[in-house]
Structure 1
Amino acid sequence: MRIAFFIALLSLAGCATAPSRITNACAIFDQRDGFFNNWKRDARAASAEYGIPVPILMATIYVESGFRPNARPPRKWFLGFIPLKRPSSAFGYAQALDGTWDTYKRTTGRWGARRNDFGDAIKFVAWYHYQTSVRNNVPRNDAYNLYLAYYSGHQGYDRGNFSGSLRQTAKKSAGMAARYASQLQQCGY
């Protein structure tokens, strides 16, 4: 009985940390394919529901949180040691803002969704990219523009005033999506 409890505890502890090899999609899925979680299944389900390719979903999470479940924007510090408020409410794998996450839960009926649950977060990313495709007429396989809209919001994307650093990050996301696509093809995904 104790051994089963210990194994279950270790499995759950693995859920609370980021995978160690995040630049290889096959390795990510291998690391998170277990009894308690199955990231490959979650990614496929999100892709099937919203029509956004798995590599784009994974690349968005890679850029946003590095697959860390409790990621948050860094705090600013006053006098070097007094913590101030965080610059935004972004949290979790998808770095979803409070208001956007609430809209997602309300419109999809997924009231129990949590931002630090990979399955919930990847569905959110797929949902948001789908909304971008519909609202902003961005093709569902355009990783670069989907990321620009993800980061700047639908109205921000329409304005089109993107900083050089945001454009670089969008290129990074698109590059990682291409890399993940190649890797997934090689490992028989």
Structure 2
Amino acid sequence: MIQISALFLRKSFSKNSHTKKLGGLILLISLLLSGCSSTAPPSDRHNLCSIFREKPSWYKAAKKSQKKWGTPVQVQMAIMYQESSFRHNVRPPRPYFLFIPLPRKSSAYGYAQAQDGTWQEYLDETGGWFKSRDDFADAIDFIGWYTNKARRVNGVSLWRADQLYLNYHEGMGGYRRGTHKSKPWLMNTARRVKSRASNYGEQLRRCKL
């Protein structure tokens, strides 16, 4: 009787252990899939209301950045759209020589396409050891920080999405030197950012979040 009971317990334990392992595996897969979906770009990147309805945490983060740095939500989002189309892990393309991969021309990475040096400057000024360029809340805060600095350093209005973008692209020193003026393609891009910010702003005024 004792031997039968012991055998039954061993089988039950083995079965329960297997069930726990299977349950743990299913949970891990679910978390991974959830993580993938949470970093996927919005389904409609041209409509700010649609973006924020799909990703309400983004709206909270963008509003928090606006309150902290003063840059309107629509301006921040227009700059981010231009930089990464809301993709979390974008890097500049890697050039190749024959079949040999060469170093990328820029260290830009993430939602905001922040470069290593500028990102480190942001971390030094704002703190936060665990901030990441592929985290939306951190990236939008970075854009708010940078545009606010462009206002302080170069006197650019936080409502001028085109001029803020030129600072963002050329650096504040480059903007002061007027490097953007010899780049017609960049001036056209800045105008597109301005137009998108205006459209985003109009959409945001009409929607209920």
The answer to whether TM tops 0.5 is yes
Aligned to 1:178: 198
Could you tell me how far apart the structure 2 residues matched to 1:82 and 1:182 are? 47
Deviations 1:130-176 (A, max 9, x none): 00000000011111100000000010000012111111111111111
1:36-185 equivalent positions in 2, closer than 5 A: 38-79=57-98, 81-162=99-180, 163-185=183-205
Q: Secondary structure at the match of 1:86?
A: coil
Q: CA deviation at 1:41?
A: 0.2
Report runs of 4+ in structure 1 exceeding 4 Å deviation. 6-9
**TM-score of the aligned structures, taking structure 2 as reference length:** 0.83
Structure number with larger C-alpha Rg: 2
1:29 matched to 2:52? yes
Q: Secondary structure at the match of 1:130?
A: helix
Which 5+ residue runs of structure 2 have no aligned equivalent? 1-19
Give the helix-richer structure, 1 or 2. 2
Could you tell me how far apart the structure 2 residues matched to 1:87 and 1:187 are? 40
Deviations 1:14-70 (A, max 9, x none): 12222221111111112212xxxx000000000000000000000000000000000
Counterpart code for 1:165: W
Q: Secondary structure at the match of 1:122?
A: helix
Could you tell me how far apart the structure 1 residues matched to 2:90 and 2:62 are? 19
Q: Secondary structure at the match of 1:28?
A: helix
Counterpart code for 1:30: R
Could you tell me how far apart the structure 1 residues matched to 2:204 and 2:100 are? 45
Q: CA deviation at 1:8?
A: 4.5
Could you tell me how far apart the structure 1 residues matched to 2:122 and 2:83 are? 18
2:146 and 2:168 in contact (8 A); partners too:
yes
**TM-score of the aligned structures, taking structure 1 as reference length:** 0.91
Q: Secondary structure at the match of 2:60?
A: helix
Q: Compared with structure 1, are the counterparts of its residues 77 and 104 closer, same or farther at alpha carbon in structure 2 (3 Å cutoff)?
A: same
Q: CA deviation at 1:128?
A: 0.0
Counterpart code for 2:136: F
Q: Secondary structure at the match of 2:179?
A: coil
Counterpart code for 2:38: C
Could you tell me how far apart the structure 2 residues matched to 1:148 and 1:85 are? 25
